[in-house]
Amino acid sequence: MKLIVSDLDGTLLEDDHSISPRTVEMVDKLRELSVLFTVATGRSLTASKEYIERLNISIPVILFNGARIFDPVEGKYLTEHALSRKVVETIIEKAKRQRDLTVAFFVSEEVYMYNVCLKASTYFIRDAIVYRSVEDLSDFVDQNVTKIVFAGQPYDLDKLEMELPEILEEADVVKSEDDLLEILPKGVNKASALKELCGILKVPLSEVIVLGDSMNDLQMIRVAGFGIAVGKAKDEIRKSAKMYVEGKGEEALQKVYELLRRGE
């Protein structure tokens, strides 16, 4: 295997969203086996930067659930995808009718929050989001919106997801966490970004190990040469993976290290 790609939240990070020193050490040990290492996350660059630096990642990383690929060495995006005007307009109308859900618009490096409420506070804290609160959404119609996120209680998100079939021809909807529903450009996900990344690095998909735990990792796990479900991975993730590791972080990476050392 030539490349390891890991999700962050629920996979590489601890419960308090930190990276343990042992996890950093394991990443270094994996590199000693001449294997490349990077991450694929739904987070923005701002919310991912400290982890990229802590892990000493020097190859491109997948951000925004695949909507962007960033080169930390060159300090620039290699690929970028945006939602269509029609989708943004549709979501704006939906957002105006949501009393119990907070809506986040990701534009460039900024995050704009509409209807900020307590039920979405876990999302703000977990992803260390610095945002601007807005009341007028009309300006976003003419912006390059990378993705839109609804945050709140799972029940409210499930109801909203059932109301979104009209945008499915031009956008993808994914429940990245129990409290998050994300709207992404059509055909854009971690799997599509992984294919783009492999093209950039000239690494075959068959030579890639992927680690993940959430539904936004599912397609990536399916297309990789060796998918590993970790921690509290959903049943569908476990069934699609080649292996399940009960732990996460250093424990999951230790298992990968042992497999590579044995040449499996």
Classify 166 as helix, strand or coil: helix
pLDDT for 223-263, tens place per residue? Answer: 999 999 999 998 999 999 999 999 999 999 999 999 998 87
Tokens of 174: 């994914």
Q: What angle separates helix 21-31 from helix 250-262, to the nearest 10 degrees?
A: 20
Rounded to two decimals, the pTM is: 0.91
8 Å CB contact between 169 and 185: no
Query: Domains, the chain, ranges and CATH?
Result: 3-80+188-262 (3.40.50.1000), 85-185 (3.30.1240.10)
Quote the pLDDT of residue 180.
Answer: 92
Angle at 180 between CA 138 and CA 44, to 5 degrees: 70
- 237 DSSP assignment: H
Per residue in 171-204, pLDDT tens? 999 888 889 999 999 999 999 999 999 999 999 9
Q: DSSP 3-state helix, strand, coil percentages of the chain (rounded to 5)?
A: 40, 25, 35
User: What's the rounded mean pLDDT across residues 58-80?
Assistant: 97
The least confident of 43-57, 64-78, 125-139, 222-236 is 125-139
User: Which is nearest to 55 in space by CA: 74, 33, 75, 31?
Assistant: 31
Three-state DSSP class for 3? strand
pLDDT greater than 80 at residue 38? yes
Share of the chain above pLDDT 90, in %: 80
For 89-120, what is each residue's pLDDT tens digit? 999 998 998 889 999 999 988 999 999 988 88
Which letter does DSSP use for residue 74 in this model? T
